[in-house]
Amino acid sequence: MTLPIDTGPTTRDALLTCEQMAACDRFTIDNGTTGFTLMLRAGQGAARHIRRAFRPGRVLVACGPGNNGGDGFVIARDLREHGWDVTVALLGAVSSLKGDAAEAAAHWDGPMAALSAELVGSADILVDALFGAGLTRPVEGAAAELLARAAGRAASGRLKVAAVDVPSGVHGDTGQVLGTACPADLTVTFHCRKPGHLLQPGAELCGGVRVVDIGIDPAAPAMASPAARVIAPALWQDRLLPAGPADHKYTRGHVLVLGGAMPGAARLAARSARRMGAGLVTVCTPEEAVPLVAGDAPGLIVQDIPYDLGAFVSARKVAAIVVGPGLGTGAYAWRLVEAALACTLPIVLDADVFSLFAGRRLPDGGPAVLTPHGGEFGRLFPKIDVRESGRVAAVSRAAEQCGHTVLLKGPDSTVAAPDGRCALLDGAPATLATGGTGDVLAGAVAALLGRGLPPFEAACAGAWFHREAARRLGGTALLAEDLADAL
């Protein structure tokens, strides 16, 4: 009993919630494809990836009581038909299975045992088909014991793990762990990834993620408005135009960086903006820091803070502003932020701005991109609990609340716009966790704003280029100065 798999192109950049994916399943079934057909395609596609990823060995397929377990039975049958040594461990009784899962189990005629942690001890490969992405309560009992035992064996290199949909215990919408979860070497999901495949800690627990096309009807309404997108060039490439013969430094965007108490941060933002393609970069900084910043690069324009910032940006044809990196939190900083916002130009707000306006609404200004890390986000939006609601919901709520694009930095950087669009960055390297890299990001986003990208697209592009520069530098350590140059 085999059906074709990978029946069409998957939607690579769409991220669906568990509810949206269930709606896609229902729509496809209502339009003539049986649920069991979808299950066969899912299980056979997952088995193919398992066969590609691992050498044959003793396989334990841990099946739960729902459709994830049904996928597991299909995987077990496929692997056994290819000559692999497979045992199914079932949580609960076969007689308790219903619908498509019961039909899948009826086609399994190989070894089967009640789920027990001891079974992991004799396995070379665990196929985790216990619970899917929509799990709503913590894993407990025999399932938790098996996953804990498997995690210990996997950590010692004695067990390979393949997860079906997500590692059991990981919530597909938030990436949070409910109770316990066993890290996977390979996770195979279906039709589209979910936010939890990219959000920590789920992203780290998933290992390598593969997507199987199971033939979801492309007209499914959920596909028209996915919960989020993966940050990728398709989001902005039609808007980011290459230099043309009629361009000059002002058409390429004049970026103004406003410095403060720590001039090194402004220097990094300016360096980044220049490497990102800004036509001109000016740093305005307190008078005592002018010689230090001016010595950084001969192509910078450096001067002290103008008395009338609005007149200055108009006369100098400034296209975008960066304020916050190294700014400080005194009265000077407060006045400068207010003056910058009053210019109503595209602006990047970073770092000390979030301490200045902790728990308060920002003054009105031009279109803005806010680039907080987790602690700064908490200060600016104290009533939004990221862990409780998940990053997608939290950042989307923050963007709606403040009326600007918000880029919450981290290994799973999340960008949301006030109009409801959201995008997630896939896998920023740990080398970015060092001082100054946030200043580099702020400068990169400002350059993109100055080149004409709207705030959401500029934030997404800045995050992507920032990650790619870090990846291509490689190594185990990274300097912010090198990151800026790698742009």
135 labelled binding-site residue: yes
Calpha distance 203→209 (Å, rounded):
9
| Domains of the chain, CATH where assigned | 14-229 (3.40.50.10260), 233-486 (3.40.1190.20)
Ligand-binding site membership of 375 (annotated): no
Q: Is 132 annotated as a binding residue?
A: yes
What's the CA gap between 274 and 48, in Å, rounded?
47
136 is in an annotated binding site: yes
Residue 165 annotated as binding?
A: yes
Q: 67 a known binding residue?
A: yes
436 is in an annotated binding site: no
71 annotated ligand-binding residue: yes
Residues of the chain with pLDDT under 50: 1-10
Residue 29 DSSP class: H
Spatial distance between the Cα atoms of 120 and 219, rounded to a whole number of angstroms: 42
Determine whether the annotation assigns residue 324 to a binding site. no
218 is in an annotated binding site: no
Among residues 162, 232, 174, 164, the alpha carbon closest in space to that of 203 is found at 174
Is 391 annotated as contributing to ligand binding?
no
To the question of whether residue 439 is assigned a binding role by annotation, the answer is: yes
pLDDT of residue 11: 63
98 annotated as belonging to a binding site for a ligand: no
Instruction: Quote the pLDDT of residue 6.
Output: 38
412 annotated binding-site participant: yes
Kindly report the pTM of this predicted structure: 0.93
* Amino acid at the residue 359: G
The answer on whether 69 is annotated among ligand-binding residues is: yes
Is 189 annotated to bind a ligand? Reply is: no
Cα 138–Cα 142–Cα 148 angle in degrees, nearest 5 = 75
Q: What is the C-alpha separation between 169 and 133, in angstroms, rounded?
A: 8
pLDDT tens-digit readout, 332-380: 899 999 999 999 999 999 999 999 999 888 888 999 999 999 999 999 9
Is 137 annotated in a binding site? The answer is yes
